[in-house]
């Protein structure tokens, strides 16, 4: 039974659409377009909304009340019966590839208000913005699989004209999709507010209130001015070549240390986890050396390597190596025994098990390790550069302190933060690229 609504309810019905999983992240304009298509309807408690086998013409979104949705037995849904309230979406069969009939029935359990949207109209509307539209269709597919527990086989949504095929979505475009979701969420804006508050507090503490402990601190305006100045007072800003030489030097050192630590640490960790005997020989020594702080290694490393350069890289390498090896070992140990058993059942030999089960199974942990590793590599590099360096950001910070160039200290610190973050993000992107299966699982879980 269809009814017409007054204008006051229009806002509420748009709000209900926004609560529907597929429309949660669409732009305001698209949501308005969808809302314009929606026709309100009201059902009494116990009234049948549609039957299995009916023509799949409309999609339904619950505004209020409760609806029971029951699949026929030939749909191998893990849970055949689903109840839904406000924001619940059903009647999506028409969006699926090759489906024109309802394969479930829906009944109102109590007096229920519903929005009906014509399937063809919705598809046309989504095609106006094909990229956003295909994100909506993707969310439909995800919702159908996850909320309605329908097998992925059936939950294949129709393709919008002009949109990329979802099967062809590479891990890169999935990463981009997650990025676009992030930009549409409130998180980046909260982040900006956080930054503003932090800088504001710094400004107030140093330059306005002149809090005693901060008296000698460089102020935020001084630092920014120095940093962006074409002729900086203390000789270092984004316009001086020297600034980039320092960055390049530090990056080059971390790259070498990180590369060595990965090339040696990953195989070492894999064998630690894979061979019990090897672990029994090596692990006790490993665990004894690992907790020694990197600064304690400075004298010995200078003794070992006559050249300062190698000593600095060695220190950065050492911390990195331990983080990588330890996480890799834990990764191997985390692998479910049944994967190894399944592989040996299927006729894989020991080496094949290693190559096809142990390495990919440990990969998530390995990449966690590499992210930590790149961080500690920066940490120990800067410590080493402060003690014995020629160039580099750690050297900049220390010499600026000795020569009382306080704003330059902060420039060095902030630069370290940014460069460190970028290297860590690069490791993450490499991980996403190598572990497409994991990226897809995470994208399905909408994280």
Give the shortest CB-436-to-other proteins separation in angstroms.
8
Give the shortest CB-332-to-other proteins separation in angstroms.
14
Pick out residues in 12-71 that bind other proteins (CB under 8 A): none
Q: In a 3-state reduction of DSSP, which class is residue 270? A: helix
For the purposes of burial, counting CB atoms within 10 Å of the CB of 127, is it exposed (0-12), middle (13-18) or buried (19 or more)? middle
Pick out residues in 303-362 that bind other proteins (CB under 8 A): 336, 338-339, 341-349, 352, 356-357, 360-361
Closest C-alpha among 144, 136, 124, 178 to residue 22: 136
Nearer to other proteins by Cβ, of 175 and 310: the residue is: 175
Nearer to other proteins by Cβ, of 193 and 346: the residue is: 346
> How many chain residues touch other proteins (CB under 8 A)?
39
Pick out residues in 163-192 that bind other proteins (CB under 8 A): 167
Residues in the chain: 447
**Buried residues in 182-198 as b, exposed as e (16+ CB within 10 A):** eeeeeeeeeeeeeeeee
Chosen residue from 139, 156, 253, 405 binding other proteins by CB under 8 A: 156
Helices vs strands, H then E, count in the chain: 17, 8
Chosen residue from 73, 186, 241, 291 binding other proteins by CB under 8 A: 73
> Starting from the edge strand earliest in sequence, which strands make up the sheet with 67-71, in order?
48-50, 104-108, 67-71, 81-84
Nearer to other proteins by Cβ, of 135 and 206: the residue is: 135
Give the shortest CB-236-to-other proteins separation in angstroms.
47
Nearer to other proteins by Cβ, of 142 and 256: the residue is: 142
Give the shortest CB-242-to-other proteins separation in angstroms.
46
Tokens 């063809």 correspond to what residue?
A: 120
What x/- string results for residues 75 through 104 when contact with other proteins is judged by CB under 8 A?
Answer: -xxxxx------------------------
Give the shortest CB-331-to-other proteins separation in angstroms.
12
Residues 6 or more apart whose CB falls under 8 angstroms from that of 359 comprise: 270
Neighbours of 211 (CB within 10 A): 11
Chosen residue from 151, 194, 267, 293 binding other proteins by CB under 8 A: 151
Give the shortest CB-35-to-other proteins separation in angstroms.
31
Tokens 């009201």 correspond to what residue?
A: 42
Give the shortest CB-201-to-other proteins separation in angstroms.
44
Confirm if 308 and 388 have CB atoms less than 8 A apart. Answer: yes
Contacts by 12-19, CB closer than 8 A, 24 or more apart = 12/63, 13/38, 13/40, 13/63, 13/115, 16/61, 16/62, 16/63, 16/64, 16/86, 16/87, 16/115, 17/61, 17/115, 19/86, 19/87
Confirm if 152 and 145 have CB atoms less than 8 A apart. Answer: yes
Give the shortest CB-268-to-other proteins separation in angstroms.
22
Pick out residues in 361-400 that bind other proteins (CB under 8 A): 361, 363
Pick out residues in 119-148 that bind other proteins (CB under 8 A): 145
Nearer to other proteins by Cβ, of 73 and 241: the residue is: 73
Interacting residues toward other proteins by CB under 8 A = 73, 76-80, 145, 149-153, 156, 167, 336, 338-339, 341-349, 352, 356-357, 360-361, 363, 435-438, 440-441, 444
């Amino acid at each position: 039974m269809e009814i017409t609504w007054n204008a006051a309810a229009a806002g509420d019905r748009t709000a209900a659409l926004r609560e529907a999983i597929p429309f949660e992240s669409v732009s305001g304009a698209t949501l308005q377009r969808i809302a314009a298509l929606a026709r309100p309807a009201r059902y009494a408690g116990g009234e049948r909304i549609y039957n299995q086998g009916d023509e799949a013409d409309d999609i339904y979104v619950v505004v209020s009340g409760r609806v029971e949705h029951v699949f026929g037995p030939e749909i191998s849904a893990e849970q055949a019966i689903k109840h839904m309230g406000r924001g619940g979406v059903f009647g999506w069969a028409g969006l699926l590839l090759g489906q024109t009939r309802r394969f479930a029935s829906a009944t109102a359990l109590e007096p229920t208000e519903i929005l009906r949207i014509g399937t063809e109209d919705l598809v046309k509307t989504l095609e106006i913005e094909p990229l956003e539209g295909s994100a909506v269709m993707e969310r439909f597919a995800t919702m159908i699989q996850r909320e309605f527990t329908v097998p992925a086989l059936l939950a294949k949504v129709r393709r919008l004209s002009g949109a990329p095929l979802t099967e062809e979505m590479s891990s890169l475009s999935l990463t981009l999709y997650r990025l676009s979701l992030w930009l549409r969420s409130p998180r980046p804006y909260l982040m900006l507010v956080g930054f503003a508050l932090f800088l504001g507090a710094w400004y107030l503490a140093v330059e306005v209130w002149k809090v005693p402990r901060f008296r000698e601190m460089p102020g935020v305006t001084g630092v920014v001015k120095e940093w962006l100045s074409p002729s900086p007072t203390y000789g270092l800003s984004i316009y001086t070549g020297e600034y980039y030489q320092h960055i390049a030097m530090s990056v080059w050192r971390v790259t070498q240390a990180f590369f060595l630590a990965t090339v040696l640490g990953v195989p070492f960790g894999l064998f630690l986890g894979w061979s019990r005997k090897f672990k029994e020989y090596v692990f006790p020594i490993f665990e004894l050396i690992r907790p020694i702080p990197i600064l304690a290694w400075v004298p010995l490393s200078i003794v070992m390597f006559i050249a300062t350069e190698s000593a600095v890289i060695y220190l950065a390498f050492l911390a990195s190596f331990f983080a990588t090896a330890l996480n890799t070992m834990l990764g191997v140990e985390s692998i479910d025994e049944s994967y190894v058993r399944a592989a040996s059942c299927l006729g894989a030999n020991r080496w094949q098990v290693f190559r096809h089960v142990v390495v990919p199974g440990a990969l998530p942990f390995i990449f966690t390790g590499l992210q930590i590793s790149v961080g500690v590599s920066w940490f120990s590099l800067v410590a080493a550069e402060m003690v014995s360096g020629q160039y580099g950001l750690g050297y900049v910070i220390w010499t600026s302190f000795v020569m009382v160039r306080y704003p330059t200290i902060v420039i060095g610190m902030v630069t370290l933060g940014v460069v460190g973050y970028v290297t860590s993000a690069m490791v993450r992107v490499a991980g996403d690229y190598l572990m497409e299966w994991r990226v897809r699982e995470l994208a399905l879980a909408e994280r």
